[in-house]
Amino acid sequence: MSAKRNFLFLQGVCSPFFARLADALKAQGHGVYKINFTVGDIAYWWPRKSINFRAPLDELPAFLKSTYDQYEITDQILFGDRRYVHQPAIIAGKEMRIRSHVYEEGYFRPYWITLERGGVNRFSQLPKDPSWYLQHGNKFDVQPAEGFVSAFINRALHDVLYHCASFWNPVFFRHYRNHAPMNAAVQYYGYIQRLPKMSQYRTSDARVIDTLVESKTPFFLLPLQLNSDAQIREHSTFKDMADVMEQVVKSFAAHAHAGHKLLVKNHPLDLGLDNHRKTLHAICRRYGVEERVSYIETGDLDKILRNACGTITVNSTLGCLALSYGNPTITLSSPIYDIKGLTYQQGLDSFWSSFIPPDQELFALFQRVVTSTTQINGGFYCSQGVDMAVKHSLKNLLSERSPLEELLGV
């Protein structure tokens, strides 16, 4: 057994994952502590002992440092490095030489989750130098991910339970500021309104895709992301998806070949609170490309990516999927896969006529490194996925250096 460590858990994903992970660490003799910021945090940690932080956010750094000292904390574990309560924690942890283990949704999905030290996405330690991946990629022999079934209803129920408990935040945690831009009730209302229409969308969207493919019409894909996603709010220069569509359609109208089309696909978890179809139509009318741009809510991504001329994304993980298909891809931000040789580097205006596919050898080596050093086979929302995630996390959490730190020599 490794030397005893003391782990401080901060906010986790809306699921039993953090509690189960804490139990596994405790069973191996390590100290486990928890700070709650909401009633939902308490509900998913109960009946384990924990500490409540109820003060204003500006008092959190001092509270954290006091907690580190009192419990001799060596490591802290959190989900999402851009939450308001986690940004000061990462800074305080670095000052106090506390290892920060950051979980996030997987860079490669659906059977992987992300675990990095210090930060993820824009704050990842993964290099952007293609030669580095060519040098190190063959050091890893990645086995295919073990699959599991995780129904969407599981995720939805955990989210509802967490936010029902957090209804009492104004009473017990009145200073808490949610990282989400809107409250849960508004989100649920939007999704409930959208859900009954999905069957109709699937039929009409399939016709749009079939028409493009069967007519051999050259088309580009723009997958939308969530306005509420930290990838947009924290890791890009865009305000929202309307802003993204404006920039992309403007460039498409001015620089794409007249015979080419643009397919805009909504995010599968979009809440339906913003009428993207209506917004896109107005933008297309302004630039005179109404007949060249189509909008879909659903669609067979395999069929789309096998036939698209290229993919434009801000920083979605769908970019990784596009690259895996050999699909020419450009990013409008700087995700981990925005690397010379993988993504187009010369700007959006010339992308429409470039058709430069990613280097498939480089992508394979990139995927090997990223999967081996930052990805955990498992999930957050079903029992089997959580069991796998806990089991596969332990070695990484208990190592003096993470796999990526080992590879980087830091």
Is the CA virtual torsion 315, 321, 326, 327 positive or negative?
negative
Task: Provide the domain count of the chain.
Answer: 2
Instruction: Quick: pLDDT tens for 273-303.
Output: 789 999 999 999 999 999 999 999 999 999 9
Judge contact between 324 and 237, C-beta under 8 A. no
Do 221 and 98 share a domain, yes or no? no
Could you tell me if residue 225 is inside a domain? yes
Whether 162 has a pLDDT exceeding 60, the answer reads: yes
Do 403 and 315 share a domain, yes or no? no
Place of tokens 């036939």: 307
Q: How confident is the model at residue 328 (pLDDT cuts 50, 70, 90)?
A: very high
Could you tell me if residue 112 is inside a domain? no
On average, the pLDDT of the chain sits at 94
Helix, strand, coil shares, percent, the chain, to 5:
50, 15, 40
Average pLDDT over residues 167-177: 93
Average pLDDT over residues 105-118: 96
Please give the pLDDT value at position 191. 61
Is the CA virtual torsion 223, 228, 229, 231 positive or negative?
positive
Do 396 and 330 share a domain, yes or no? no
Q: How confident is the model at residue 190 (pLDDT cuts 50, 70, 90)?
A: low
Could you tell me if residue 98 is inside a domain? yes
Is the CA virtual torsion 348, 318, 365, 235 positive or negative?
positive
Q: Mean pLDDT lowest for which of 5-9, 268-272, 309-313, 345-349?
A: 268-272
Could you tell me if residue 27 is inside a domain? yes
Do 288 and 352 share a domain, yes or no? yes
Instruction: Quick: pLDDT tens for 20-49.
Output: 999 999 999 999 999 999 999 999 999 999
Q: Mean pLDDT lowest for which of 149-153, 177-181, 328-332?
A: 177-181
List the CATH number of the domain containing 264: 3.40.50
Whether 127 has a pLDDT exceeding 70, the answer reads: yes
Do 226 and 285 share a domain, yes or no? yes
Backbone phi, psi, residue 343, to 5°:
-105, 155
The per-residue DSSP string of 67-123 comes to HHHHHT--EEEEE-TTSTTTHHHHHHHHHTT-EEEEEEE-SS-SSEEEEEES--GGG
Strands (E), 234-313: 261-265, 293-296, 310-313
Judge contact between 114 and 375, C-beta under 8 A. yes
List the CATH number of the domain containing 88: 3.40.50.20
For residue 392, what are the domain limits? 6-105+147-156+378-408
Tokens coding 264: 């805009």
Do 259 and 300 share a domain, yes or no? yes
Do 276 and 298 share a domain, yes or no? yes
Whether 52 has a pLDDT exceeding 50, the answer reads: yes
Do 352 and 307 share a domain, yes or no? yes
3 versus 217: the higher-pLDDT residue is 217
Judge contact between 207 and 254, C-beta under 8 A. no
Average pLDDT over residues 190-197: 70
Q: How confident is the model at residue 183 (pLDDT cuts 50, 70, 90)?
A: low
Tokens coding 336: 């981990």
Do 93 and 203 share a domain, yes or no? no
Instruction: Quick: pLDDT tens for 201-220.
Output: 999 999 999 999 999 999 99
Please give the pLDDT value at position 133. 98
Q: How confident is the model at residue 178 (pLDDT cuts 50, 70, 90)?
A: confident
Please give the pLDDT value at position 155. 87
Count of Cβ atoms closer than 10 Å to residue 350 Cβ: 12
Instruction: Tell me, rounded to whole angstroms, the distance of Cα 198 from its chain centroid.
Output: 23
Could you tell me if residue 114 is inside a domain? no
Q: What is the percent of the chain with per-residue pLDDT over 70, rounded to a whole number?
A: 96
Please give the pLDDT value at position 297. 95
Could you tell me if residue 177 is inside a domain? no
Q: Mean pLDDT lowest for which of 73-77, 104-108, 139-143, 212-216?
A: 139-143
Please give the pLDDT value at position 325. 97
Could you tell me if residue 266 is inside a domain? yes
Average pLDDT over residues 130-140: 96
Count of Cβ atoms closer than 10 Å to residue 65 Cβ: 16
| Integer CA distances (angstroms), 37 to 8, 54, 55, in order | 13, 7, 9
Whether 377 has a pLDDT exceeding 50, the answer reads: yes
Question: Which residues are CB-contacts of 309 (< 8 A; sequence separation ≥ 6)?
Answer: 218, 219, 220, 260, 328, 355
Average pLDDT over residues 135-146: 92
Q: With CA atoms as reference, report the closest residue to 90 among 163, 31, 11.
A: 11
Sheet containing 261-265: give its strands across.
Answer: 293-296, 261-265, 219-223, 310-313, 329-331
Whether 187 has a pLDDT exceeding 70, the answer reads: no
Average pLDDT over residues 230-238: 89
Whether 329 has a pLDDT exceeding 50, the answer reads: yes
Average pLDDT over residues 347-372: 97
Please give the pLDDT value at position 1. 47
For 87-100, letters b (16+ CB in 10 Å) and e give: ebbbebbeeeebbb
Is the CA virtual torsion 231, 237, 241, 247 positive or negative?
negative
CA distance 227 to 271: 10
Axis-axis angle for helices 152-165, 184-194 (nearest 10): 150
Please give the pLDDT value at position 160. 85
Do 263 and 388 share a domain, yes or no? no
Judge contact between 101 and 389, C-beta under 8 A. no
Could you tell me if residue 251 is inside a domain? yes
**Residues recorded for the chain:** 410
Do 338 and 391 share a domain, yes or no? no
Q: How confident is the model at residue 179 (pLDDT cuts 50, 70, 90)?
A: confident
Decide: helix, strand or coil at residue 35: strand
Do 360 and 217 share a domain, yes or no? yes
Count of Cβ atoms closer than 10 Å to residue 216 Cβ: 8
